[in-house]
């Protein structure tokens, strides 16, 4: 049974009805006058009371009628028994309060079916166990509430449904223990709340906004705080399960100022921003905040590229299944966490410069013992990753990092699910240290560098390059695939496999690259550089030192392994003439050593490429590759007759048919 029908059958005073205005129970003006039958009913210079502390009252305005009160309209419920109610129903029906509309001690205000209500201030006082309800329903229904004030020790409930509109200029609490909830959406049409001014959700009590299917909320100019006081909590939940649900921030929300704040966007919900900054938690004030995007089968998103700041050990940004955050940048400080992914569905955190001017646009900056976790299905894309603090950490468990930057701090955890590093073209990802049982996969045209002690299980390089920096040490296996490259002067203790089409290029300019036992496959390439023919191994020309054996069984003459010579200017390191090369002298350059020998060496499996060697030689000179002293030597000989033994001779042009001499 509708509340209005219940009141009509149980009233304590006779009902008075004229035109579209109906009263029952205790309805009187401040001077004690009752409804006089006029329409419109205009009450000047005094207040109107619907109900009292002793008895309930009911006022209905419908059928295009109107009530105008120059002062306050109070809807007061007794402490027990029936609650008082105010109903404004139908197109053209209107209620105007010259000052405040006061819903006191519970009760109901219901606006529906195209009605209009205006007030300067709406005050809702609830009692423990007795909610105060404001129901705004139906297309064309408009409640211009002015300021919302809540107090009492119960819960005030406001709902905007079936295409209705609520507007306000402030939401505040008059005592910190007050609880309130807004629901926007549900039913047919687009229901909306247009809010400006200072809006506070959560003093010492709880404030909740739920935006569901068909709901739209805009916070315009002003301030929005979720969790203002230390014991207060404020939550905004945007749920698109039953249809489009959206919140538009034209302010900079504070999620967890001194209390607890939560912004949850799930199953198709959407949040857009235009002002450019969202803070989540505040470690300096003890506030904790959560920003959660995703969950459910529909795509949920945070749009508008705001700059995000998450602060405090209990504060969190999480991107769940089918969640997307498109932000300008994120600063993760003071023990906060960022978690992306966790299921087979995609979850994406995308950082790129937006319209808001903020230092280090496109950056994920992690400091103060904070943590970033990228789990299954999760991807973080950033112009720059910056993890410099010694106590901060990144963890990969099936997730992907895209872009470039520096991952320092505690060792990057590569968990059982593994992880992917996708370095953008021209960018480099530097990992100071790693640990964990998982495999790391490198993709993208850019490079990945290991700069310290890396102890994860292994690395597969599908694209771009892996650089083992000077002083670095890698214990896991390394596999280089077609078109990818291994460079650097570090040490690889694990096994190395160069798959078909892979490239090895020791040094950064000439240098020494140390590896564990290695396997080379057909179609691979050794890019060997030299800047001074009278110099030393690993200083003036490249050297691969293998602590173990080299397996060449997988090579084939039909797809030979290429040794590509590149001469460099010694002074600049640029391509050019190597110093001290005499075309009438003989040279032997050790380009690879092993401690346990070479298996499967066959000269016909190799081809030399001299297109990068700029120094001239004599017409009868030749270059040869020799299996020599458990290693490989590159030999230049100007003599007309080649040395016997296991040698291969250079082609006339790059990768052409073999000849015995190079002719110019």
Backbone angles phi, psi at 119, to 5 degrees: -150, 160
The secondary structure element, H or E, covering residue 278 is: strand 277-280
pLDDT in tens, 617-653: 766 788 999 999 999 999 999 875 544 444 444 433 3
Q: Which residue has the tokens 């020494």?
A: 512
Placement of tokens 């329409």 in the chain: 39
Alpha helices by DSSP H, 200-338: none
What is the spatial distance between Cα 17 and Cα 13, in angstroms, rounded to a whole number? 13
Under 8 Å between Cβ of 520 and 555: yes
**Token pair 């080649």: residue:** 642
Which of 440, 429, 380, 431 has its CA nearest to residue 404? Answer: 429
Q: How far apart are CA 384 and CA 242, in angstroms?
A: 38
Helix (DSSP H) and strand (DSSP E) numbers for the chain: 1, 68
DSSP 5: H
| Whole-angstrom distance, CA of residue 393 vs CA of residue 373 | 8
Structure tokens of 604?
A: 């016909």
CA distance 317 to 402: 18
Reading phi first (left if > 0) and then psi (alpha if -120 to 50, else beta), residue 408 is in beta
Q: What is the mean pLDDT of the chain?
A: 92
Within 10 Å of residue 597's Cβ, how many Cβ atoms?
Answer: 14
Q: What integer pLDDT is reported at residue 6 of this predicted model?
A: 36
Report the distance separating Cα 507 and Cα 243, nearest Å: 58
pLDDT reported for residue 356:
64
Residue 130: the pLDDT is 85
> Which pair of structure tokens corresponds to residue 495?
């096994």
Q: Do 362 and 386 form a contact (C-beta atoms < 8 A)?
A: no
**Distance set, CA 219 to CA 198, 248, 294 (Å):** 10, 6, 22
* 3-class DSSP state of 582: coil
Q: Are the CB atoms for 473 and 453 separated by under 8 Å?
A: yes
Chain-centroid distance of CA 145 in Å reads 37
Q: What is the pLDDT of residues 474-519, one digit of tens each?
A: 999 999 999 999 999 999 999 999 999 999 999 988 999 999 999 9
Q: What is the DSSP letter of 523?
A: T
pLDDT of residue 16: 54
Number of alpha carbons in the 13 Å side-chain half-sphere of residue 225: 20
With residues binned 3-state (H G I as helix, E B as strand, rest as coil), the percentages for the chain, rounded to 5, are 0, 55, 45
Q: Coil, helix or strand for 604?
A: helix
pLDDT at 162 (0 to 100) = 98
Radius of gyration of the chain (CA): 38
Cβ contact 328:307 at 8 Å: yes
Distance of CA 477 to the CA centre of its chain: 31
Regions of the chain short of the pLDDT cut 70: 1-19, 174-176, 355-359, 618-619, 640-664
Q: What is the pLDDT of residue 304?
A: 94
CA 280 – CA 325 distance, rounded (Å): 14
pLDDT at residue number 161:
98
């Amino acid at each position: 049974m509708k509340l209005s029908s219940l009141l009509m059958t149980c009233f304590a005073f006779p009902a008075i009805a004229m035109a579209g205005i109906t009263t029952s129970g205790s309805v009187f003006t401040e001077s004690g006058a009752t409804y006089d039958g006029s329409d419109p009913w205009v009450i000047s210079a005094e207040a109107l009371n619907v109900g009292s502390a002793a008895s309930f009252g009911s006022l209905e305005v419908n059928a295009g009628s109107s009530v105008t009160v120059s002062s306050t309209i109070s809807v007061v419920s007794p402490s027990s028994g029936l609650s008082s109610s105010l109903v404004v129903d139908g197109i053209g029906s209107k209620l105007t309060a010259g000052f405040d509309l006061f819903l006191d001690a519970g009760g109901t205000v219901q606006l529906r079916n195209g009605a209009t209500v205006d007030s300067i201030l709406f005050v809702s006082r609830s009692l423990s166990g007795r909610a105060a309800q404001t129901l705004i329903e139906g297309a064309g229904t408009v409640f211009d509430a002015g300021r919302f004030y809540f107090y009492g020790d119960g819960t005030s409930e406001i709902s905007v449904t079936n295409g209705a509109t609520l507007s306000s200029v402030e939401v505040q609490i008059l005592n910190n223990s007050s609880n309130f909830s807004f629901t926007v959406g549900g039913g047919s049409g687009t229901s909306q709340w247009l809010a400006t001014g200072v809006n506070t959700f959560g003093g010492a009590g709880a404030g909740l906004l739920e935006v569901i299917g068909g709901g739209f909320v805009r916070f315009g100019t002003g301030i929005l705080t979720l969790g203002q006081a230390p014991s207060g909590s404020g939550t905004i939940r945007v749920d698109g399960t039953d249809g489009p649900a959206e919140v538009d921030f034209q302010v900079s929300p504070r999620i967890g100022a001194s209390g607890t704040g939560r912004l949850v966007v799930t199953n198709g919900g959407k949040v857009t921003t235009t002002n450019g900054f969202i803070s989540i938690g505040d470690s300096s004030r003890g506030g904790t905040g959560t920003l959660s995007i995703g969950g459910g089968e529909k795509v949920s998103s945070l749009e508008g590229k705001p700059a995000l700041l998450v602060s405090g050990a209990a504060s969190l940004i999480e991107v769940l299944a089918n969640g997307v955050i498109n932000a300008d940048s994120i600063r993760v400080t003071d023990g906060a966490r960022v978690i992306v992914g966790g299921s087979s569905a995609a979850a994406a955190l995308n950082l790129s410069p937006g319209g808001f001017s903020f230092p280090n646009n496109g950056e994920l900056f992690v400091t103060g013992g904070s943590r970033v976790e990228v789990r299954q299905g999760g991807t973080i894309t950033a112009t720059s990753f910056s993890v410099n603090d010694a106590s901060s950490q990144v963890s990969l468990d099936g997730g992907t990092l895209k872009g470039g930057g520096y991952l320092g701090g505690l060792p990057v955890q590569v968990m059982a699910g593994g992880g992917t590093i996708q370095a953008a073209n021209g960018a480099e990802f530097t990992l100071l240290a790693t640990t964990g049982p998982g495999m790391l996969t490198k993709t993208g045209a850019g490079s990945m560098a290991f700069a310290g002690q890396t102890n994860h299980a292994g690395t597969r390089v599908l694209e771009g390059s892996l650089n083992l920096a000077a002083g670095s040490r890698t214990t896991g296996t390394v596999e280089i695939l077609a078109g990818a490259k291994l460079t650097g002067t570090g040490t690889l203790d694990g096994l190395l496999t160069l798959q078909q089409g892979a490239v090895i290029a020791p040094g950064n300019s000439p240098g020494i690259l140390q590896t564990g036992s290695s396997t080379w496959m057909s179609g691979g390439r050794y890019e060997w550089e030299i800047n001074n023919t009278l110099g030393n191994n690993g200083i003036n020309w490249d050297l691969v030192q293998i602590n173990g054996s080299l397996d060449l069984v997988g090579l084939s003459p039909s797809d030979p392994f290429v040794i590509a010579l590149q001469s460099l200017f010694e002074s600049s390191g640029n391509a050019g003439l190597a110093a001290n090369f005499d075309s009438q002298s003989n040279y032997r350059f050790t380009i690879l050593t092993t401690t346990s020998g070479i298996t499967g060496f066959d000269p016909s499996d190799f081809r030399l490429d001299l297109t990068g060697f700029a120094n001239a030689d004599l017409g009868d000179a030749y270059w040869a590759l020799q299996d020599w002293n458990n290693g490989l030597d590159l030999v230049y000989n100007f003599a007309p007759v080649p040395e016997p033994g296991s040698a291969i001779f250079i082609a006339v042009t790059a990768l052409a048919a073999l000849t015995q001499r190079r002719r110019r």
